[in-house]
Amino acid sequence: MKIVLCLIAMIWVSNAFTQQTHNFFEDTIQRLNFSVGADFNYGSTVMTNKFSNRFLFGGTITRKMKDDTYKNLGNNNRGGGDLNYTLTAEIPFDTLFDRTGISLVVGAEFNEHVDVKFDENLFRLVFDGNKQFAGQEVDISQTNFNYYKFQRLNFGFISYKKHKGKLTREGAIVSLIKGEEHIAANGEGTMTTEQYGRQIDLELDYTFNSSDTTNKGLKAFNGIGISTDLFTEFYLKNGDKIYLGVEDLGFVHWNKKSIEISTDSLYMYDGIVIDDIFNINDSLIDKLSKDSIIDIISTDRSKASYATALPTALHIIYTKKLNSKLVGNLGLYYKILVNYFPYIYANTTYYINPTFAVKTQLAWGGYGKYNIGLSVAKSIKNSWQLILGTNNLEGYVVPTKAFSNSGFVGLKKYF
């Protein structure tokens, strides 16, 4: 569990998802454009921002902070996040082939994702040890962990259509994926601590998968895959707009150097025998090394290729223009195949003038709980567009009460 939490700590950041990079200022014509963006978000149903920031970036986690956090534990404890960097070019076909209404889209992305679901007792065990469970058998089940790091090249098409003078889009993007790293763990178990701490019994039924552990870093090529993004926009008779999207529908096939470890056994721990009192450190290291522990508890260990489905997302946005200065959105964003709650949001964009807009948002779900967002967008000479914001203003203002944090920035150049 400590390994799982440390992995979350390394990338406790996540995607503010596609809708945040949608134009604040509606396109009226199809144009050549280039855009860059970065976004992050982290969240937990259990740990407040203050607790998680101390855990991730250093600092004392006090007894009171632990006790307050334990009050948030329940039957469905989750956490996770994503980190995305994107570079995209949209090239109208009339630039290439003298054909209007269709654009070629090319780009590159860096993506990192983590999510975890954990049992209440396991969380308490990690932060306060097993003394609290002396004389008890406790359930440490309901553990599920997923971690991905990959890069991709994107190719696709966007079709533009006019509806009563308004522009709508639909498109399909295909991505070729280079898998850098993958880790997954899933299973259940029980732990019994003898009343006086003389023996610990673990009954485990776990499966652990990992890409090649000897080949890491940005240059690592441990898997290959493909994914598809599909989206469409259309207007209703009353002038309201609907956006429907499917993101990251695909898989990664990890190479034959990948590892699978499974355990389905009872392990009894009754202490360490020290062979040389004058060489204690080496004795302990030999007996408590990562490899030796894995050898003891594992019932099967092998190297073989395997495939994993990506965290596919479904996205629906309902847009209503309230007046010349106000536009409202209702949205649902949901990642399947991972430990993610449906993210439901409502936001309003206020156009202070034709080139400057402010968006406020209320939301619930994702990896955390409630969310309050604030973002701004600036259009410069109808040629540049800058977006900056967060979906979790509360994470900066009241970190002791907030359960999520995020930020995103985007820059687009039109020609």
Q: What is the pLDDT of residue 248?
A: 94
Q: What is the pLDDT of residue 382?
A: 84
| Four-residue CA torsion sign, 209, 211, 217, 222 | negative
Q: What is the pLDDT of residue 300?
A: 78
340 in Cβ contact with 404 (< 8 Å)? no
Q: What is the pLDDT of residue 10?
A: 38
SS3 content of the chain, % helix, strand, coil (to 5): 15, 55, 30
Q: What is the pLDDT of residue 304?
A: 92
Q: What is the pLDDT of residue 2?
A: 46
CATH 3.60.20.10 fits 2-258+304-414, yes or no: no
pLDDT tens digits along 268-310: 766 655 555 555 555 555 555 555 555 656 667 889 999 999 9
Closest C-alpha to 171, from 245, 73, 66:
245
Compute the distance between CA of residue 90 and CA of residue 56 in angstroms, rounded to an integer. Answer: 38
Quote the DSSP letter at residue 294: H
Q: What is the pLDDT of residue 1?
A: 46
pLDDT tens digits along 10-65: 333 333 334 444 567 776 677 889 999 999 998 999 999 999 888 878 888 999 99
- Three-class HEC string of 199-259: CEEEEEEEEEEECCCCCCCCCCCCEEEEEEEEEEEEECCCCCEEEEEEEEEEEEEECCCCE
Q: What is the pLDDT of residue 14?
A: 35
Low-confidence ranges of the chain (pLDDT < 50): 1-21
Q: Cα-flanking dihedrals φ and ψ of residue 389, to 5°? A: 180, -175
Q: What is the pLDDT of residue 12?
A: 37
Compute the distance between CA of residue 193 and CA of residue 20 in angstroms, rounded to an integer. Answer: 49
106 in Cβ contact with 82 (< 8 Å)? no
